Homo-oligomer: A and B are copies of this chain.
Amino acid sequence: MSSPNPRKRPAQGSAAAASAMPQHQQQTYYPPTSTPDPLNGWNGSNVNSFMENSGNNLSPYGMLSPPAQAQYNASGTPGTTPSTALARRGNNNQLVVTSHNFNTQQNDVWSYGDESLVPQQNSNNTGEEHDNIEVLEERAQRAKRESQAKRKQIPPFVQKLNSFLEESKNTELIRWSEKGDSFIVLDEDEFAKTLIPELFKHNNYASFVRQLNMYGFHKKVGLSDNSMKASERKNKSPSEYYNPYFRRGHPNLLWLINKPKSGNAKKKSSKRPDEGDGDSDEDGVVLDESVNQTFTPQAPSTRALPAPESGPLQKKDLALVRDQMQNLQQQQAAIAMQITRLQGQHRQLAGQAKLFQDMHNRHENSINAILTFLANVFRKPLEEQGVVNNVNDLFAGIIPNLNMPLGQQQQGSVVDLSDWEQQQPPQSAAMSTPAKSRPRLLPSFPQQGVPLKRSPSASATPPPYAGSQQPPMGTVTELFDQPTDAANTPTYLGQNFQSNPQEGMMRIMQDVNTNAGKGNSSVDLPNLGANASNSMTDDQRNRMLSLISGAQSNNGSSPTATYNNHPQGSASPPVPASTGSAISPILRSAAAFPPPNVQEMARTQEEIDQLQKLQEEQSQHIDQLQNMLGPYSPSGKIPGIDDSNTSYFDEGMDFFLDPNAFHNETNDFDFGNATNDAVNFDPLTEPLPTHDFGGGGLNEGSRIMETNTPSHKSPSPNGTEEILRDDLTDSPGRAHKRQRKG
């Protein structure tokens, strides 16, 4: 601001004069200047007010008089240091650009600018052009309104370029083509030397072309316009440049020209997430806030974006992010698939548990009924045997070592006999609660007295439950492992038989079954069971045994095991390996798992459903992330994602991919060590019909795929507009501030 005396222009060749003067300081181009104001160092660097002048609130001449310009300059930047105010003023001084002289070569020179005055006579020039001019003008009006709402300008470069073509003095170097839909640079060298520096800070034609390309101008190859005289061409090769929105007489179309960021202005597929291309921004600027909801299905991220204080992300970083995103998504799909499988299996398992519980209940009912029946029936015959004259004495006699008291807890109706014969080894050390006596479900019936043909067996030691200490209220009678002392055995037993005849029956039966084959039963079986015990043929016996042991019964007599005829090893002590039932070892470990109740199962089902919802949300998130990142890929799709759905799980996930592997297995209920074939049953192995279970069912293995895949192939406009929204909400503020002082 002070000392405005212009520096003397150094004489040519003065570089050699001062030894300190480096040669690179040569200044060869002297741009034409119209005013000698020394403070205005460079011209044309800011023509932002150009379009405001050409808008609807300016005189048809669109040019400010010098006093008006002075006013313009007076609105300097407040609060800046004098030194920076220098630059500011210099820039403000250059705000006004030639906004008259539009359409120099036409008659409608003064009628442009006002929207209502768009010259119609221009349409004869542009009728066959790539778009209907009316459509373009309509789009331009929308774009203008939108841009002005955002306080955005026509890009300065476009304004400058247009001002070149307004000036009739420039027509020897740059001018409109005959049709007015492109412009021609007749002499690139001279244009660069003389005209470019008028409005740009360089004299570099290449930079000018670079800017042209940046704003969507393309060079026309075959100079279709032959209007040029050969003299005009000189020996220079003229260049013609075209932009669909750069037309003579249609300054409003310039509002459709936007800098297309990094993505080229090619097709609408790979739009930049910034402010939309010039080609289609009025189509993509809608959808402001709705996408945010889609973006944040979960509440924690619904808050406003954290202030993004980060620097520019490098493309390599983006590629990395994209790669990781792919990985994430693939794994998400895999997880979702497996969760589905898991859900189905869990469902089956829960159903199976119910089934087993069911069977168990019915078994107990049946056994209870049997024992009740027997208690009724046997009261008389047993007493008739004369050994005792009531049931209590009978039982005391026939099972001499029966000294087990029936405690208060014994409220069940099915007797556990498994431990009577074999006082088994201690409980498994793995038991979490080894204390106290525990209730047991029906144990296996001791079978050492009955040499079954097929009974590989194992030791029968039903372990205690690991859980609740409360005795169950059901009908299962529990016994203690160690007989608690109750000395008065006979009476007690008799009382017990009266109060618990089922247990008494079981004891009698056990004794009979155990000793029948050996002939040393405590019960007088011949008298009790009458003398028909030998009326069974050997074949009948064998068949019965075979039935009991689960073997086929119709292949006649099998002499391997006889029932009544003193079988081998009758006097020998029971072999541990064959004494117990087959299930004890399993039970021992199985008891380590407290059975969850049905509510828990339902809860688990809920959890799985929730799990899947989470997975879906996550897939959506990744989807949207890739929508965001996808446009940065030239093809608009993430490599490897949409190649094929089947290649998704090539990486060590084959295990989970075969949906039939599950059912190809033999579905025997083979519990590993379970040895008693008689208890094996063949479960039905057909797969479940997958229709409705639990309401929240989802076949998301494929559904997630379907959800994600299309977005890779063509990033949804949602993703782009999500980002557009940000610009929309952000830019007005910035632009407003920028504009404030203009």
Contact = CB atoms under 8 A, between A and B. Distances in A.
B688 A529 contact: no
A385 to B, nearest CB: 9
Interface centre among A306, A319, A593, by most chain B C-beta atoms within 10 angstroms, is A593
Contacts of A14: 32-34
A668 B468 CA distance: 10
A310 B262 contact: yes
A471 B540 CA distance: 23
A19 B333 CA distance: 70
A640 B320 CA distance: 24
Contacts of A736: none
Nearest to A22: B98
B380 A547 contact: no
Interface stretch (A110-118, A125-133, A223-231, A438-446): A438-446
Nearest to A682: B472
A679 B169 CA distance: 107
Contacts of A485: none
B632 A311 contact: yes
Contacts of A611: 335, 338-339, 342
- The residue among A358, A552, A665 with the most chain B CB atoms within 10 A of its own CB is A358
Contact of A30 (B7, B272, B473, B526): B7
Interface string A369-391: 11111111111111110000011
Contacts of A262: 310-312
A470 B22 CA distance: 101
Contacts of A31: 7, 25, 27
A366 B442 contact: yes
A313 B316 contact: no
Contact of A40 (B26, B358, B450): B26
A645 interface: no
B597 A366 contact: no
Interface residues of A, number: 315
A309 to B, nearest CB: 4
Contacts of A356: 352-353, 355-357, 359-360, 595
Nearest to A198: B25
A681 B439 contact: yes
B21 A26 contact: no
Nearest to A94: B24
A202 interface: yes
A190 B326 CA distance: 57
B533 A84 contact: no
Interface string A318-341: 111111111110111011001101
27 contacts: A10-B33, A12-B35, A13-B34, A15-B34, A18-B169, A20-B101, A20-B166, A21-B169, A27-B31, A82-B188, A86-B189, A272-B311, A274-B314, A328-B621, A335-B614, A351-B593, A352-B353, A352-B594, A366-B442, A370-B506, A373-B509, A373-B513, A381-B529, A473-B550, A591-B684, A598-B669, A598-B672
Given A357-B590, A382-B530, A600-B662, 8 more contacts: A22-B34, A23-B96, A299-B650, A300-B327, A301-B326, A331-B621, A380-B531, A473-B682
